[in-house]
Homo-oligomer: A and B are copies of this chain.
């Protein structure tokens, strides 16, 4: 019996990684329902992290009414593993880009307050461990909104408490951290992120990720200097300099404030956290075939953590690994060196990008079935008509 590990990332705008798992699984079962398939949705700390970890750890989804990046009440989710009292929160859930339409992007006003509300709710539920996935936020508030929701006070030069967002950073002259929710200091924090950017400079939060969150070219230096002033205030307060730590620039500077204000904190690669929790290495070494994928696979992917992380585990275990994608771009030869033996498109006839995104699950299902058909061509001449 054939054993297949299905471990795709999300196909952004079309399918979550869990949906992609279901589509691939269903295509394989179309070909032969008897195959043994293990599905592990993967993510990098950003959108999909909660879904991936809740699936792997067989936890549950908790819904909370919190604020979106612009302070509108929305329902957002976090993951809960009751056995270990672990909460999984991703910044993308309450404070993420998908919460805003393109024309609503407003980095000066956007806040991670809602993420703090989710964490506070998890703490009140009795969380002993918080896994916080960074990535995909619509904010450049350095996570101050989140910490405000947890009780930290950010004050201006008149000693007045500020309402925190991207613009308010420049007005912070003092912070009060002894007001932080007591619970938050009693838990173990795991920051899941595959972003390694520092807080400031050309590789920092504003320069690299600002534009996608709505920072216009004209305002880049203004946001950058506000962030820098904020960093100095915090570093003076904590007497720790973390602005150049790997990942302090993640999620609009969220990493910086986490590293500055939390004690009991560990940083892990989002992908590796999921791989470890899912015991992916062991699962893969027992498999005959590994199937991964992502909406778009390009040379960037080859340096990333999702499908290439999976391919590397497969290469290590000497198990063949392939990926399905909506679009591949650039030279894929290096993919082979990383263990990705084939990158297979899912589009099956001329169609627009919109049509392809809308029918993603069906295209992926059919592509998986075709792949099984070819994979089995060699089962011997005498057996071709099962």
Contacts and interface: CB of A to CB of B under 8 A. Distances in A.
Interface of A: 289, 315, 317-320, 322, 326-328, 336, 339, 341-345, 347-353, 355-356, 370-371, 373-375, 377-378, 381-382, 384-385
A347 B341 CA distance: 19
A320 B385 contact: no
Nearest to A321: B384
Contacts of A349: 326-328, 345, 347, 356
Contacts of A328: 348-349
A377 B320 contact: yes
A350 B348 contact: no
Given A347-B348, A350-B347, A375-B377, A382 B322 contact: no
A355 B347 CA distance: 14
A299 to B, nearest CB: 16
Contact of A347 (B342, B347, B377, B384): B347
A349 B296 CA distance: 10
Nearest to A386: B336
Contacts of A381: 317-320
Nearest to A289: B377
Nearest to A371: B374
A250 to B, nearest CB: 31
A205 B381 CA distance: 42
Contacts of A341: 373, 377, 384
Contacts of A370: 342-344
Given A374-B344, A375-B374, A377-B289, A315 B385 contact: yes
A249 to B, nearest CB: 32
A266 to B, nearest CB: 34
A62 to B, nearest CB: 37
Nearest to A363: B345
Nearest to A357: B350
A351 B384 CA distance: 34
A298 to B, nearest CB: 11
B350 A356 contact: yes
Contacts of A356: 349-350
A342 B372 CA distance: 9
A355 B350 contact: yes
A319 B382 CA distance: 8
A301 to B, nearest CB: 15
9 closest A-B pairs by CB: A342-B373, A345-B348, A327-B349, A350-B353, A374-B374, A318-B381, A320-B377, A350-B356, A320-B384
Contacts of A345: 347-349
